[in-house]
C-alpha cells in the first residue's frame, strides 16, 4: 500500500464523526474532496472501509482497524511536534558528548553549570582516549568531542576554545621540585611517566623535545591521566600533564610543578564535530556555551598558578 498522510488524516476525521459533512468542516475541505480521499484510500487498500446503511455511516471491520492505526499515527505526529517544540525551547533534549580523559575534570564543571541552566536535558558523556574519540566522530556516534588539536584529513570541523598548558610535575620531595629554574637538558636526563603512543599530550611532549634536539625518555606509559599522576606521586618519574588536571593534587600537595625551562607548553582544547553534521538544538547551545564560558570557568580554580600562567 502507498497510503498518504492526507488520506489517513481525512479518514480519521470521517471515522470519528461518521459524517462526511462534519469531517469536511473540521478539515476545511469540500465534501466531494473528502469523499474522493476516502475512495482513493479504499482503492489503495482494495477493501471497503466505510459503509452506509440507511442514512448512517458505519466502519467495516477493516475500517475499525484502520481507525486505530490512523489515531495512533495522528497522535505520534502531535507528540513529534510537541517534542520538537520543546527541544527548540531547550525544555528537553539529549546531548551526546565525548571528551579526552585529560579534559574530564573541567568538562564536568562546565556540564554541571550547563545542566543547571537547562535542567530537563539529558547528557551522555564518554570519557576516552584520542584514538577512540576519532573513532566516535568517524561513526557519527556523538554530537561533539572535546580534545586536543585533531589531526588533518579526517573531515572534521574544529575550533579552539581554551588554552591547555602542559607542565612538568614531580613528587614533592624530588630533587628538582624546589629548584627555582631547571634547565631543559636536566629535565631531559630524567625518565618520564607518560600516556600511550598517539595521545595528544605525549605527541606534544615528544615534539617539544625533538625541536630542542633532546631525547624524550619514556620510562613508563599508561593509558589514563589519573594513573600517570599517581605514578608521579609515588616517585616513579616525572610527568607532563595538563595544568587543568592538577587542581586536587596541587591543593593536597601530593604533586609539585617543576619550574622547567621552556614550560608550560601551550596547546589548546578544541571542540570538534564531523564536517557537515547538523547539530541538535541542545548541541548548538552547548557549543556556544563552552565558547563563551570556558575562560570564566578557569578563573574559578582556587590556585594562584591558574591565574599567573
pLDDT score recorded for residue 91: 60
Span 222-270, pLDDT tens digits: 888 889 999 999 999 999 998 888 888 988 999 999 999 999 999 899 9
pLDDT at 211 over 90: yes
Which fold is adopted by the domain 164-267?
A: D-Maltodextrin-Binding Protein; domain 2 (3.40.190)
Q: How far apart are CA 229 and CA 199, in angstroms?
A: 16
- Phi (first) and psi of residue 213, to 5 degrees: 55, 40
Q: What is the CATH number of domain 94-162+268-308?
A: 3.40.190.10
In the chain, % of residues over pLDDT 70: 92
Domain ranges of the chain: 5-88, 94-162+268-308, 164-267
Other Cβ atoms closer than 10 A to 10: 26
pLDDT at 299 over 70: no
Which fold is adopted by the domain 5-88?
A: Arc Repressor Mutant, subunit A (1.10.10)
Rounded to the nearest integer, the mean pLDDT of the chain is 86
Q: How far apart are CA 78 and CA 95, in angstroms?
A: 23
pTM beyond 0.75: the answer is: no
**Residue 290 is placed in which grid cell?**
563552552
Span 120-163, pLDDT tens digits: 888 999 998 888 999 999 888 899 999 988 888 888 999 999 88
Position 89 confidence tier, pLDDT thresholds 50, 70, 90 = low
- Phi (first) and psi of residue 305, to 5 degrees: -60, -35
pLDDT score recorded for residue 85: 65
pLDDT at 1 over 80: no
pLDDT score recorded for residue 304: 44
Q: What share of the chain is helix, strand, coil (3-state, %, to 5)?
A: 50, 25, 30
pLDDT score recorded for residue 188: 92
Helix (H) or strand (E) holding 257: strand 256-258
CB 149 within 8 A of CB 268: yes
Q: Which whole number is the average pLDDT over 26-55? A: 90
CB 164 within 8 A of CB 298: no
Identical topology for domains 94-162+268-308 and 164-267: yes
3-class secondary structure, 175: coil
pLDDT score recorded for residue 298: 60
- Give the residue with greater pLDDT, 33 vs 151: 33
Q: Which whole number is the average pLDDT over 186-192? A: 92
pLDDT at 208 over 90: yes
Amino acid at each position: 500500500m502507498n497510503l498518504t498522510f492526507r488520506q489517513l488524516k481525512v479518514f480519521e476525521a470521517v471515522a470519528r464523526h461518521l459524517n462526511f459533512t462534519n469531517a469536511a468542516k473540521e478539515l476545511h475541505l469540500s465534501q466531494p474532496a473528502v469523499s474522493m480521499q476516502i475512495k482513493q484510500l479504499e482503492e489503495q487498500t482494495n477493501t471497503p472501509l466505510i459503509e452506509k446503511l440507511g442514512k448512517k455511516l458505519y466502519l467495516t471491520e477493516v475500517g475499525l482497524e484502520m481507525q486505530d492505526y490512523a489515531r495512533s499515527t495522528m497522535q505520534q505526529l502531535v507528540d513529534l511536534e510537541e517534542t520538537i517544540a520543546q527541544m527548540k525551547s531547550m525544555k528537553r533534549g539529549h546531548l551526546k558528548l565525548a571528551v579526552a580523559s585529560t579534559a574530564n575534570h573541567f568538562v564536568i564543571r562546565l556540564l554541571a553549570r550547563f545542566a543547571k541552566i537547562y535542567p530537563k536535558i539529558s547528557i551522555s558523556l564518554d570519557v576516552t582516549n584520542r584514538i577512540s574519540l576519532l573513532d566516535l566522530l568517524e561513526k557519527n556516534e556523538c554530537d561533539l568531542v572535546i580534545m586536543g588539536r585533531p589531526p588533518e584529513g579526517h573531515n572534521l570541523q574544529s575550533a579552539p576554545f581554551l588554552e591547555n598548558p602542559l607542565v612538568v610535575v614531580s613528587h614533592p620531595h624530588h630533587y628538582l621540585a624546589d629548584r627555582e629554574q631547571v634547565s631543559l637538558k636536566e629535565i631531559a636526563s630524567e625518565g618520564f611517566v607518560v600516556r600511550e603512543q598517539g595521545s595528544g599530550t605525549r605527541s606534544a611532549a615528544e615534539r617539544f623535545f625533538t625541536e630542542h634536539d633532546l631525547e624524550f625518555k619514556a620510562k613508563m606509559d599508561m593509558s589514563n591521566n589519573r594513573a600517570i599522576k599517581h605514578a608521579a606521586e609515588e616517585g616513579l618519574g616525572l610527568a607532563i600533564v595538563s595544568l587543568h588536571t592538577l587542581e586536587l593534587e596541587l591543593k593536597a600537595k601530593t604533586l609539585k610543578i617543576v619550574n622547567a625551562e621552556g614550560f608550560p607548553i601551550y596547546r589548546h582544547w578544541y571542540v570538534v564535530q564531523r564536517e557537515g553534521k547538523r547539530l541538535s538544538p541542545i548541541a548548538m547551545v552547548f557549543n556556544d556555551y563552552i565558547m563563551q564560558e570556558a575562560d570564566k570557568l578557569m578563573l574559578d580554580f582556587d590556585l594562584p598558578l591558574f591565574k599567573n600562567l
